[in-house]
């Protein structure tokens, strides 16, 4: 059984002029525990919407999302929130650290929504996680005093502190320079592998995407499996090729 | 359990981090609680001061004024009066009672002998009439046993003796057929600026040493009896009937003092509540205002917290708790400020008179203030909490 499975998922919104805009169309995706998957695509192609649906922040308009054998549609709002906290860790492009709080408080923040030992030992767990991402000496530092790379490390520590089953990374290197971005992805891959969490990274950077085991391209709301070689070039389409794809796939992603 | 603790921790963190905002928002609430508690306390003190001032005139609540004035030329003897009054005190179980009589006695001052207006009383009179000398002391039961008399005098009397205080143990000769040296044991302030010398003398000493003055009519002491307020009205006719039977030929009168405090108390309480309510309303409005602005600034943070697994209920309760925790803290600050003000208030200057029996700090008003502040906090938190829950998570994260 897959960890999560999307079957023919569609997400559409009604525009103010009453037209219906389809953001995602017929998305089918299956991710196993510990797997690293990347989704590439231009801005505005629905990457974040896909990630939000996967992370239970948004719901599909049609189609089915099954999380560990449970149809997400059957979960109450409260149960969805609980599973979101228990099973998913988010890494955002803009880090989204809580302002005014120290690195330690930021990493401990998700544990405020945990129960039992995780809740009561939150400060210690947060300190251990910051130690793991190499920020053991910056525990009391506020985000404003940290560099972009360090802020993203704090965000990674925060995403992983509850030991989630899935890490959802939305353009994790988008706000970083190439070298720092590479280091961050290396860290993310490493920690995700250590904890056995699946990693789904959304990016427009082919080099970042190429680090994953499986790669997808999202264009006009349609998800297509692709193969990327190491330097980050699309080498071949896998499966059905969308009818509106340009002849040169690399041009789309450039 | 961890959910509730987590919410409180979250709320406290929020307040800790946004100290300035919290401070600004809470000044109004703290002021309101200070107003409610402080004004209630001051009103209680003012009430007490007013009561005490009144009680210095008419006796403690309720002091019955019992008199039996002779109708004809023949009057009962002082001993008869004393015996009948003692009987009444015993029969009706009156705890504090004092004979009282106005008279005039000659005293020999350095400038010559002159008559002084006197009140002849028992030691209990001081308790009943709240008499606390400014210098020295009031009579005690032990004074009745002393051979030489003692007097408690006003400042004018002391001035006439050429003394300014009691450090030299001033004495004065009480004139009459058998003059006797009298010790001044206490001094009370003049009732008005140009007051003549006045003094209090114990009844027993009066009987032993003084020659009754005929200028003041027959010697007919009255009795001041401090009785429980709820029994006063019931006792009035009983005492009248009883004394009338035992002292025939006299006009027996048992007077109840006029009571008008209820209306004053009520008006003051309503004024205090009104001031507190207006202050609280203004404080609450300020709180809502700042809380709403803050929530709009925190939309992204709310979105991030939702991504951590915060349910909408938790977000709602969290924002509400921030408001409640903040107002509880403000309420406590308000009470501390009120206590500080009350304890350091120059009561005599503010109220124009001292307070003998200081009313206890109005704990009930403090609790009411706290409850109102917490209620206002919850109400003020409702609007921003609703706004927070309505935030779309995806939009919030991108905000």
Percent of chain B as helix, strand, coil, to the nearest 5: 60, 15, 25
DSSP code at position B219? -
- CB-CB neighbors (< 8 A) of B306 in chain A: 57, 81, 84
Average pLDDT (B330-347) is: 83
Question: Which candidate from A52, A85, A120 shows the least CB-CB separation from B309?
Answer: A85
Domain that holds residue B354: 2-56+261-398
**Is A126 among the domain residues?**
yes
Q: Strand A36-40 vs strand A198-203: parallel, antiparallel, or unpaired?
A: parallel
* Greatest mean pLDDT range, B53-67, B206-220, B254-268: B53-67
CATH classification of the domain holding A22? 3.40.50.300
| Top-confidence residue, B74 or A220 | A220
**Is A221 among the domain residues?**
yes
The residue among B178, B182, B188, B127 whose CA lies nearest residue B153 is B188
A77 CA: distance to closest CA in chain B (Å) = 7
CA B19 – CA B76 distance, rounded (Å): 80
Average pLDDT (B75-102) is: 90
Question: Which candidate from B307, B310, B312 shows the least CB-CB separation from A90?
Answer: B307
Average pLDDT (B341-353) is: 72
Question: Which candidate from A52, A85, A100 shows the least CB-CB separation from B308?
Answer: A85
Q: Where are the alpha helices (DSSP H) in A74-177?
A: 77-87, 103-108, 116-120, 122-132, 148-160
Residue whose token pair is 């401070």: B23
CA A243 – CA A245 distance, rounded (Å): 6
Helix axes B261-297, B363-390, angle to 10 degrees: 30
- Give residue ranges of B with CB < 8 Å to any A CB: 2-3, 5-6, 9-10, 13, 17-18, 300-301, 304-314, 393-394, 397
* Greatest mean pLDDT range, A114-128, B5-19, B269-283, B347-361: A114-128
Tens digits of per-residue pLDDT, A103-158?
A: 999 999 999 888 888 889 999 999 998 988 888 898 999 988 898 888 988 998 99
- CB-CB neighbors (< 8 A) of B2 in chain A: 114-116, 119-120
DSSP SS3 for B76: coil
Residue whose token pair is 């429980």: B228
DSSP SS3 for A201: strand
Contact (Cβ atoms closer than 8 angstroms) between residue B96 and residue B124: yes
- Environment class of residue B336 by beta-carbon count within 10 Å: exposed (0-12), middle (13-18) or buried (19+)? middle
Question: Do both B74 and B108 map to the same domain?
Answer: yes
**Of B255, B272, B306, which marks where a domain is finished?**
B255
Question: Do both B333 and B237 map to the same domain?
Answer: no
End-to-end CA distance of chain B: 32
* Confidence (pLDDT) at A184: 83
Tens digits of per-residue pLDDT, A13-57?
A: 888 888 989 999 999 999 999 999 999 988 888 888 899 999 998
Contact (Cβ atoms closer than 8 angstroms) between residue A31 and residue A4: yes
Average pLDDT (B350-357) is: 65
Question: Do both B269 and B286 map to the same domain?
Answer: yes
* Confidence (pLDDT) at A250: 43
Average pLDDT (A212-222) is: 90
B285 CA: distance to closest CA in chain A (Å) = 26
Tell me the backbone φ, ψ of residue B105, rounded to 5 degrees.
-130, 150
Question: Do both B268 and B156 map to the same domain?
Answer: no
Burial A197-229 (b: 16+ CB within 10 A, else e): bbbbbbbbbbbbbbbbebbbbbbbbbbbbbebe
**Is A254 among the domain residues?**
no
| Overall number of domains in chain B | 2
- A115/B309 Cβ within 8 A: no
User: What average pLDDT is seen over chain B?
Assistant: 83
If pLDDT is split at 50, 70 and 90, which confidence band does A253 have? very low
DSSP SS3 for A55: coil
- CB-CB neighbors (< 8 A) of A58 in chain B: 393-394
The residue among A5, A30, A10, A29 whose CA lies nearest residue A20 is A10
Tens digits of per-residue pLDDT, B109-163?
A: 998 888 999 999 999 999 999 888 989 999 999 998 888 899 999 999 999 999 8
Question: Do both B48 and B67 map to the same domain?
Answer: no
Its ipTM equals 0.81
Percent of chain B with pLDDT over 90: 25
- B13/A119 Cβ within 8 A: no
Q: Is the pTM value of this prediction over 0.80?
A: no
Please, which residues have CB within 8 angstroms of residue B257's CB and are 6 or more apart in sequence?
B58, B59, B61, B62, B63, B65
Percent of chain A with pLDDT over 70: 90
Question: Do both B18 and B95 map to the same domain?
Answer: no
Question: Which candidate from A57, A78, A115 shows the least CB-CB separation from B307?
Answer: A57
The residue among B139, B144, B186 whose CA lies nearest residue B163 is B186
* Confidence (pLDDT) at B212: 67
If pLDDT is split at 50, 70 and 90, which confidence band does B88 have? very high
- CB-CB neighbors (< 8 A) of A43 in chain B: none
Cis, bond preceding B326 (omega within 30 deg of 0):
no
Average pLDDT (B276-281) is: 76
- Environment class of residue B203 by beta-carbon count within 10 Å: exposed (0-12), middle (13-18) or buried (19+)? buried
A84 contact B CB<8A: yes
Tell me the backbone φ, ψ of residue B73, rounded to 5 degrees.
-75, -35
Question: Which candidate from A58, A83, A109 shows the least CB-CB separation from B394?
Answer: A58
End-to-end CA distance of chain A: 36
- CB-CB neighbors (< 8 A) of A119 in chain B: 2, 5-6
- A101/B393 Cβ within 8 A: no
- CB-CB neighbors (< 8 A) of A112 in chain B: 6, 9-10, 308
B329 CA: distance to closest CA in chain A (Å) = 21
Q: Looking at chain A, which residue has its C-alpha nearest residue B314?
A: A113
CA B153 – CA B166 distance, rounded (Å): 11
Question: Which candidate from B2, B18, B304 shows the least CB-CB separation from A115?
Answer: B2
- CB-CB neighbors (< 8 A) of B308 in chain A: 84-85, 109-110, 112-113
The H or E element spanning position B284 is: helix B261-297
Question: Do both B203 and B155 map to the same domain?
Answer: yes
* Confidence (pLDDT) at B19: 73
The angle formed by the CA atoms of residues A223, A228 and A229, to the nearest 5 degrees, is 175
For chains A and B, CB pairs below 8 A equal: 69
Question: Do both B64 and B51 map to the same domain?
Answer: no
Domain that holds residue A138: 2-238
**Is A248 among the domain residues?**
no
- In a mutagenesis test of the A interface, which of B21, B304, B391 is the best target, namely the one with the most A β-carbons within 10 Å? B304
> In the predicted model, is pLDDT for residue B259 greater than 70?
no
The angle formed by the CA atoms of residues A212, A216 and A218, to the nearest 5 degrees, is 140
**Is A13 among the domain residues?**
yes
If pLDDT is split at 50, 70 and 90, which confidence band does A230 have? low
Question: Which candidate from B5, B300, B309 shows the least CB-CB separation from A81?
Answer: B309
* Confidence (pLDDT) at B152: 95
- A82/B308 Cβ within 8 A: no
**Of B240, B255, B270, which marks where a domain is finished?**
B255
Average pLDDT (B193-220) is: 82
- A78/B313 Cβ within 8 A: yes
Tens digits of per-residue pLDDT, B229-251?
A: 888 889 999 999 999 998 888 89
A119 contact B CB<8A: yes
Question: Which candidate from B13, B309, B312 shows the least CB-CB separation from A113?
Answer: B309
CA A27 – CA A224 distance, rounded (Å): 9
* Confidence (pLDDT) at A248: 41
Contact (Cβ atoms closer than 8 angstroms) between residue A228 and residue A210: yes
> In the predicted model, is pLDDT for residue B254 greater than 70?
yes
> In the predicted model, is pLDDT for residue A240 greater than 70?
no
CA A36 – CA B367 distance, rounded (Å): 59
Question: Which candidate from A82, A92, A101 shows the least CB-CB separation from B309?
Answer: A82
Question: Do both B318 and B359 map to the same domain?
Answer: yes
Tens digits of per-residue pLDDT, A72-113?
A: 999 998 899 889 999 999 888 878 888 888 999 999 999 988
> In the predicted model, is pLDDT for residue B352 greater than 70?
no
Query: How many Å separate Cα A195 from the centre of its chain?
Result: 16
Length of chain A: 254
**Of B214, B239, B255, which marks where a domain is finished?**
B255
> In the predicted model, is pLDDT for residue B83 greater than 60?
yes
Q: Which two structure tokens, joined as six digits, stand for B255? A: 């007077």
Q: Looking at chain B, which residue has its C-alpha nearest residue A105?
A: B13
| Top-confidence residue, A44 or A236 | A44
Contact (Cβ atoms closer than 8 angstroms) between residue B390 and residue B384: no
If pLDDT is split at 50, 70 and 90, which confidence band does B384 have? confident
Max CA separation in chain B (angstroms) = 107
**Is A192 among the domain residues?**
yes
| Overall number of domains in chain A | 1
Question: Do both B168 and B19 map to the same domain?
Answer: no
If pLDDT is split at 50, 70 and 90, which confidence band does A237 have? low
Of A26-30, A65-69, A105-109, B31-35, least confident by mean pLDDT is B31-35
* Confidence (pLDDT) at A244: 46
If pLDDT is split at 50, 70 and 90, which confidence band does A167 have? very high
- A100/B18 Cβ within 8 A: yes
The residue among B228, B48, B201 whose CA lies nearest residue B130 is B48
Task: Count Cα atoms within 13 angstroms, Cβ side, for A140.
Answer: 0
* Confidence (pLDDT) at A61: 94
- In a mutagenesis test of the A interface, which of B8, B307, B316, B394 is the best target, namely the one with the most A β-carbons within 10 Å? B307
DSSP code at position A189? H
CA B228 – CA B225 distance, rounded (Å): 10
Question: Do both B266 and B242 map to the same domain?
Answer: no
Question: Do both B15 and B40 map to the same domain?
Answer: yes
Of B117-126, B269-278, B381-390, least confident by mean pLDDT is B269-278
- A81/B306 Cβ within 8 A: yes
Average pLDDT (A157-163) is: 89
């Amino acid at each position: 059984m897959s960890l999560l499975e999307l079957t023919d998922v569609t997400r559409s919104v009604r525009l103010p002029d009453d037209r219906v805009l389809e953001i995602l169309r017929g998305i089918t995706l299956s991710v196993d525990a510990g797997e690293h998957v990347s989704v590439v695509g231009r801005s505005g192609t629905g990457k974040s919407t896909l990630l939000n649906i996967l992370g239970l922040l948004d719901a599909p308009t049609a189609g089915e999302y099954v999380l560990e054998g449970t149809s997400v549609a059957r979960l109450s709002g409260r149960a969805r929130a609980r599973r979101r906290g228990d099973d998913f860790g988010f890494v955002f492009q803009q880090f989204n650290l809580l302002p005014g709080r120290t690195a330690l408080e930021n990493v401990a923040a998700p544990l405020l929504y945990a129960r039992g030992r995780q809740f009561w030992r939150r400060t210690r767990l947060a300190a251990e996680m910051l130690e793991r991402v190499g920020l053991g000496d910056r525990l009391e530092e506020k985000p404003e005093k940290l560099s972009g790379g360090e802020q993203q490390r704090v965000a990674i520590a925060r995403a992983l502190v509850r030991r989630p089953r899935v890490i959802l990374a939305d353009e994790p290197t988008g706000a970083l320079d190439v070298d720092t971005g590479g280091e961050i992805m290396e860290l993310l891959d490493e920690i995700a592998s250590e904890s056995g969490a699946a990693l789904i990274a959304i990016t427009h950077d082919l080099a970042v995407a190429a680090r994953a085991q499986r790669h997808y391209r999202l264009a006009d709301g349609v998800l297509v499996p692709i193969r990327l070689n190491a330097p980050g070039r699309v080498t071949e389409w896998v499966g059905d090729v969308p009818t509106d794809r340009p002849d040169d796939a690399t041009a789309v992603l450039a | 359990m961890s959910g509730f603790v987590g919410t409180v921790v979250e709320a406290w963190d929020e307040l800790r981090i946004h100290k300035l905002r919290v401070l600004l928002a809470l000044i109004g609430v703290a002021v309101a609680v200070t107003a409610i508690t402080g004004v209630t306390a001051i009103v209680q003190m003012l009430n007490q001061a007013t009561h005490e001032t009144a009680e210095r005139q008419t006796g403690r609540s309720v002091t019955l004024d019992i008199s039996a004035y002779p109708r004809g030329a023949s009057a009962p003897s002082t001993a008869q009066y004393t015996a009948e009054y003692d009987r009444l005190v015993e029969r009706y179980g009156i705890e504090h009672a004092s004979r009282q009589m106005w008279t005039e006695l000659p005293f020999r001052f350095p400038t010559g002998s002159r008559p002084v207006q006197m009140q002849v009383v028992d030691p209990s009179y001081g308790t009943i009439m709240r008499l606390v000398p400014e210098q020295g002391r009031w009579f005690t039961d032990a004074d009745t046993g002393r051979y030489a008399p003692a007097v408690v005098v006003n400042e004018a009397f002391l001035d006439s003796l050429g003394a300014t205080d009691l450090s030299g143990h001033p004495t004065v000769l009480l004139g009459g057929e058998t003059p006797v040296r009298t010790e001044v044991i206490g001094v009370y302030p003049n009732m008005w600026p140009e007051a003549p010398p006045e003094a209090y003398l114990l009844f027993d000493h009066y009987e032993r040493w003084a020659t009754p003055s005929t200028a003041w009519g027959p010697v007919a002491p009255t009795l001041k009896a401090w009785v429980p307020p709820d029994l006063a009205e019931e006792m009035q006719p009983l005492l009248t009937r009883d004394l009338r039977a035992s002292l025939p030929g006299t006009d027996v009168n048992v007077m109840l003092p006029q009571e008008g405090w209820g209306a004053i108390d009520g008006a003051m309480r309503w004024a205090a509540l009104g001031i507190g309510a207006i202050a609280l309303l203004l404080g609450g409005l300020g709180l809502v205002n700042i809380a709403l602005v803050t929530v709009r600034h925190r939309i992204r943070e709310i979105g991030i917290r939702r991504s951590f697994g915060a349910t909408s209920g938790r977000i709602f309760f969290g924002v509400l708790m921030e408001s409640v925790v903040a107002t509880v803290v403000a309420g406590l600050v308000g009470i501390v400020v009120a206590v500080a003000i009350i304890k350091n208030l120059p009561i005599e200057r503010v109220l124009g008179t001292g307070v003998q029996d200081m009313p206890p700090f109005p704990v009930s008003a403090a609790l009411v203030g706290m409850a109102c502040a917490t209620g206002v906090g919850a109400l003020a938190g409702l609007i921003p909490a609703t706004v927070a829950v309505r935030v779309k998570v995806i939009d919030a994260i991108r905000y």
